[in-house]
Structure 1
Amino acid sequence: MGLRKAAGLGKLGLPLGLLLCLLAQKPAGDTNTSADEADHEPVVTFVDSGLNVTEPKEVEFGPCTVTCGIGIREVILTSGCPGGESKCIVRVEECRGPTDCGWGKPISESLTSVKIPCIFVPPEDRFTYTWKMLIPDQQSLILPNDSAILEVHRDTHPVAFECDTNENDQLIASVKYTVYTTAAVTLNVAT
């Protein structure tokens, strides 16, 4: 290692060493130390490896991928990006929209059955699902199915279903579906 390189490290090392020494010292008059405090080291976060560590960081949140329920969005840094970039993606995180997703569309349909999904993001087993059959002027009938997708056979009259997606007993999203009769679907296809 040359002298110039070592001198450059010395300029950065001295302030860094002083900072770590100051963080490691206990405040005067503080003689009580719990077992928890002894186990934890001081938290020091270096945001920037350059010399100007006081440069302000500005964060911008991208649009959520959903209008209801749970989705993802980009977190974008608009100041202090490496390489002189004006914007850079810092991370991707989950985002939530309103829980009421209204009326959904089945993922597959045939003349005899329909597959309808709850609202979720992978992994699907992270959530709990409650399927209900909606009955006009009566209390909903809770179905024994607790999976993310329900397959329903068409009946002689249209039936409405609702699925509530929960995480840690908190409602994340609710979506409804109408499953039409075979005759209605056949008539609709013919016209």
Structure 2
Amino acid sequence: MTRTLQEIKAELEALYQENQTAIEKYTAELEAIDPKIEQAKQDIADAQMMVDAEAYDIAKRELWTAENTKEMLKNKLDELTQKPLISKTDYNKLVNEINVLAEKENMTIINKVSEMFPEFEALKQLHIDNYNFANNTLQLLENKIGRNEKSYNYSDRGALLPGRFSGLEYTPKRSVVHLVNSLIENYERLVK
């Protein structure tokens, strides 16, 4: 059964969290060992001063155990913080699996985008129809209603009004045709 990308991420996060928990545990144990080492050294000094061979032997064993425990904990922490959490083989398998799953989802999204293109084309045609209708209406206004009166192209102060130099024409501030054509061009360049 194929896992999902979300399941893989959850497994990786759980593995990382398990590693962090172990690091915290061994760090706490390592911090707790230093006082034991100092205490064992103090016990050795006290036993030497009292010339107590049995206490000296016990303190030396405690020091040896504490120092070896510290070394072992440091080695374990080095392993936990430096060594990869999975093998190279598993790592490469996961890289491939993640890429395959992401590409599969990407293709699903691209297919959904492709399904929208007929609607984009319909919207483009609505834009063209609106543009033509507005210009036909402006031509009716200018030619038949305004009788091509040139003074209508100027303000009361005599300045030429914007967009009136060569007659009335609707110019959209944002072109749906340009937007859709750019979208289609980029889609075909990137996807097909």
Name the TM tier (shorter chain): under 0.3
Structure with greater strand percent: 1
Bigger Rg, which one = 2
Output the TM-score relative to the length of structure 2.
Answer: 0.17
Output the TM-score relative to the length of structure 1.
Answer: 0.17
